[in-house]
Amino acid sequence: MKNLIEVKNIKKNYGKKEAVKGISFNVQENEILGLLGPNGSGKTTTIGMLLGLLKPTSGQILINNLKLENHRIEILEMINFISPYIELPKKLTVKQNLNVYAKLYKVQNIKERIEYLSEKLRIEELLDSITGELSSGQKNRVSLAKALINEPRVLLLDEPTASLDPEVGDFVRTFLEEYKKEKKISVLLASHNMSEVTRLCKSVLMMKNGEIIDQGTPDDLITKHGRTNLEEVFLKLSRSQSEFN
Amino acid sequence: MSLTRIYGLFLRHFYLITRSFPRILDLVYWPTIQITLWGFISNFFATHTTYYNNAVGVILTCAILYDFLFRTSIGFNMLFLEEIWSRNFTNLFIAPMKIGEILTSLVITALIRSLIGLVPAVLLTSPLFGISILELGIFLFFLFLSLYIFGITLGILVSSGLLRFGPSFENIAWSTMFLLAPFGCIYYPIETLPEVFQKIAYILPLVYIFEEARNILINQTVDIENIYNAFIWNALYFTLSIILFYYSFNAAKNRGTLINMGE
| Interatomic CA distance for residues B56 and B47, integer angstroms | 10
Is B12's CB within 8 Å of A100's CB? yes
Residues in B touching A73 (Cβ below 8 Å): 96-98
Tell whether A198 and A230 lie within a shared domain.
Answer: yes
| Interatomic CA distance for residues B81 and A179, integer angstroms | 35
Average pLDDT, chain A: 91
Residues in A touching B86 (Cβ below 8 Å): 87-91
In this predicted model, what pLDDT tens digit does every residue of B55-99 receive, in sequence order?
567 888 888 888 888 888 888 888 888 888 888 888 999 999 999
CA distance A216 to chain B (A): 29
What pLDDT was estimated at residue B37?
60
Residues in A touching B11 (Cβ below 8 Å): 96, 99-100, 103
| Interatomic CA distance for residues A19 and A183, integer angstroms | 33
CB B178 within 8 A of CB B202: no
CA distance A184 to chain B (A): 22
Mutate to test the interface with B, among A86, A101, A134 (most CBs of B within 10 A): A86
Tell whether A173 and A118 lie within a shared domain.
Answer: no
Say if A168 is an interface residue toward chain B (CB within 8 Å): no
- Position A245 confidence tier, pLDDT thresholds 50, 70, 90: very low
What pLDDT was estimated at residue A241?
52
How buried is residue A71: exposed, middle or buried, by Cβ count under 10 Å (0-12/13-18/19+)? middle
Tell whether A128 and A160 lie within a shared domain.
Answer: no
A57 compared with B215, residue with greater pLDDT: A57
Task: Give how many domains chain A has, as a whole number.
Answer: 2
Residue in chain A closest to B99 (alpha carbons) equals A73
Q: Give the SS3 label for residue A187.
A: strand
**Mean pLDDT score, A162-174:** 86
Tell whether A72 and A26 lie within a shared domain.
Answer: yes
Which of A7-11, A175-179, B254-258 is predicted with the least confidence, judged by mean pLDDT?
B254-258
| Interatomic CA distance for residues B60 and B124, integer angstroms | 11
Tell whether A206 and A147 lie within a shared domain.
Answer: no
What pLDDT was estimated at residue B57?
75
Is B256's CB within 8 Å of A77's CB? no
Tell whether A158 and A138 lie within a shared domain.
Answer: no
Say if B199 is an interface residue toward chain A (CB within 8 Å): no
Tell whether A213 and A228 lie within a shared domain.
Answer: yes
What pLDDT was estimated at residue B126?
75
In this predicted model, what pLDDT tens digit does every residue of B37-64 receive, in sequence order?
666 666 656 665 665 565 567 888 888 8
Domain that holds residue B123: 3-260
∠ CA(B204), CA(B206), CA(B212), 5° rounding?
A: 125
Domain that holds residue A110: 87-151
What pLDDT was estimated at residue B194?
81
How buried is residue B262: exposed, middle or buried, by Cβ count under 10 Å (0-12/13-18/19+)? middle
B133 compared with A98, residue with greater pLDDT: A98
- Residue A206's CB: how many other CB atoms inside 10 A? 23
Say if B7 is an interface residue toward chain A (CB within 8 Å): yes
In this predicted model, what pLDDT tens digit does every residue of B168-181 receive, in sequence order?
677 677 777 777 77
Task: Give how many domains chain B has, as a whole number.
Answer: 1
Tell whether A127 and A34 lie within a shared domain.
Answer: no
* Most confidently modeled range among A14-18, A175-179, B231-235: B231-235
* Most confidently modeled range among A173-182, A186-195, B232-241: B232-241
Residues in B touching A103 (Cβ below 8 Å): 4-5, 7-9, 11
Say if B88 is an interface residue toward chain A (CB within 8 Å): yes
| Interatomic CA distance for residues B94 and B117, integer angstroms | 32
What pLDDT was estimated at residue B263?
42
Is B96's CB within 8 Å of A92's CB? no
| Interatomic CA distance for residues A2 and A230, integer angstroms | 27
Which of B29-38, B71-80, B180-189, B224-233 is predicted with the least confidence, judged by mean pLDDT?
B29-38
Say if B250 is an interface residue toward chain A (CB within 8 Å): yes
In this predicted model, what pLDDT tens digit does every residue of A103-134 receive, in sequence order?
999 999 999 999 999 999 999 999 999 999 99
B170 compared with A147, residue with greater pLDDT: A147
ipTM: 0.89
User: Closest to A51 (Cβ–Cβ): which among B94, B97, B263?
Assistant: B94
The answer, yes or no, to whether residue A244 has pLDDT greater than 60, is no
Which of A82-91, A179-188, B9-18 is predicted with the least confidence, judged by mean pLDDT?
B9-18
The CATH number given to whatever domain includes residue A24 is 3.40.50.300
Closest to B188 measured CA to CA, from B58, B39, B18, B40? B58
* pTM reported for the whole predicted model: 0.84
| Interatomic CA distance for residues A75 and B58, integer angstroms | 55
What pLDDT was estimated at residue B236?
97
* Most confidently modeled range among A162-176, B61-75, B237-251: B237-251
Tell whether A188 and A122 lie within a shared domain.
Answer: no
Q: In this prediction, what percent of chain B has a pLDDT beyond 70?
A: 86
Tell whether A189 and A223 lie within a shared domain.
Answer: yes
∠ CA(A213), CA(A160), CA(A101), 5° rounding?
A: 120
Q: In this prediction, what percent of chain B has a pLDDT beyond 90?
A: 25
Tell whether A11 and A73 lie within a shared domain.
Answer: yes
Tell whether A132 and A211 lie within a shared domain.
Answer: no
